[in-house]
Amino acid sequence: MKKTVLFAIGAVFVCLGGLRLLGTSAPQGASPERTGAWTSLGPYGGDMVGLARNPKSPGELFAVSSSWPSQVWRSTNSGTSWTRQSMVYQQINDVAVDPQTQSTLYLISYGYLHKSTDKGKNFTNHHLPSGFSSDYGRIAVHPTNPNTIIIAGMFYYDNVNYKTDIAVAKTTNGGASWTLKRFANSADYGYGYDVVFAKSNPNYVYLCGNDQKNSVDTARVYVSKNGGGSWKSVAAPAIFNGQYPACYTLHVDPRDPKKAWIGHYNGIARTTNAGSTWKAQQTPQMTWVTSIAADSSNPKILYARKYDASNKIHYALKSTDGGVTWKATGDGVYGKSYRILAAGSKVHIATATGIFLSKNGGSTWNPCHSGIRGANIKAFAASPSSPNTIYAGIHGYALFKTTNGGSAWTTCGTFSGSLLVGSIAVLPTNPNTIYVKPNG
């Protein structure tokens, strides 16, 4: 049967027997009549905004993409392979595993908390408070009472002019009802980026973000010592101010609720007294830190990584002394960084291009998103003289090539401009000669 190769945002698909439908794959459970004509060819990967681990079974991972609709993925072998659990017709921002009942997952989207009790196959939706949005925000589940959940986000206090303040939404009954806390700075805009319960004493809760008023940006950090009932501002302007004052990510020492680390635009800062004072940490060659986490088996070992909008930093940072000093890991991580998970020598990083795994504490990295069909393909071309030779430019990552019609893909070069690949052309007489045009 003749093959007609087509391009669809999110993956490359092949249609057997001619044109059927142009688009992403249909929702799980759709009839074979509508989906049987399509086969995903890859390459694998995606904009993986959320990554979580089963705390009782470290090899079980859950990941979510920010595509529309968002996709929920599960791995039972530390990311060697993935299967899709479901598709959620919202743009998901984060995922968390219930610390007490590991079959329960929580997702957050613009205006909803989504709860699954069957490991992400089905979800029930709970409305967030009116005017509150979890865009850019994260979810924190109480370590011993999972009915208590806090979500970082923003509150629209002026809908006409789209003005927002940093805010958190808290539920103590699993999403049936909510209380809203607005940090009323009357900002032009304000975002709450991350919120974390202290594992050893969940009365301590940390929140970070930033806001802007009259064109002046301010980094914001708040600490609650009563489980999110009330909050105190503990930001340190001398540490957090810079070109773009903002705090993006948090990690709290699982043994001591007063010790915490914050990733911010200038690097990493550390407190040992619940934010009363902060100290800047040595972070060589890295600013705009958006993910930070500790090894679950050794809290003195920490990892961090930056947003990397320029696609020039392909490594992470590692500390072996509790975050006092940091050194660069090996190369091999691509795309804006969202989440880090570390357990012994295995470290996973979820980015805008996929999920990357180190099995040796960061010395080397490899992609570990086989099966995840969500790669953000910005450019695509097939060779006129060799139709099984196909090139695909992945947003923020690299140029991929297949010579067997998509059965296997290899990278044929990562380069700083790959974030902005606009088009690819293959020389009609030579499938190995290509031209790439940046977008912009």
233 Cβ neighbours under 8 A, 6+ residues apart: 220, 221, 222
44 Cβ neighbours under 8 A, 6+ residues apart: 354, 367, 369, 370, 371, 372, 373, 375, 409
- In this structure, are residues 242 and 266 in contact, taking their beta carbons and an 8 Å threshold? yes
- Give the pLDDT confidence score for residue 157 in this predicted structure: 94
- Give the pLDDT confidence score for residue 17 in this predicted structure: 33
Domain 45-367 belongs to what topology? Methylamine Dehydrogenase; Chain H (2.130.10)
Residue 303, beta-bridge partner list? 293, 318
How far lies 28's CA from each of 24, 87, 104, in Å? 12, 7, 20
Cα–Cα distance, 117 to 97 (Å, whole number):
10
CB burial readout 162-201, b (16+ within 10 A) else e: ebbbbbbbbbbebbeebeebbbeeebbbbbbbbbbbbbee
Q: Which two tokens stand for residue 398?
A: 């690299």
Q: Which two tokens stand for residue 271?
A: 């407190």
Total Cβ atoms within 10 A of residue 347: 25
Residue 307: exposure state from Cβ atoms within 10 A (0-12, 13-18, ≥19): buried
- Give the pLDDT confidence score for residue 412 in this predicted structure: 76
- Give the pLDDT confidence score for residue 185 in this predicted structure: 83
- Give the pLDDT confidence score for residue 3 in this predicted structure: 40
Q: Which residue has the tokens 């045009």?
A: 437
Cα–Cα distance, 400 to 42 (Å, whole number):
10
Q: Which portions of the chain are predicted below pLDDT 70?
A: 1-37, 284-285, 308-312, 396, 413-421, 439-440
- Give the pLDDT confidence score for residue 411 in this predicted structure: 78
- Give the pLDDT confidence score for residue 413 in this predicted structure: 64
- Give the pLDDT confidence score for residue 40 in this predicted structure: 75
Domain ranges of the chain: 3-43+375-438, 45-367
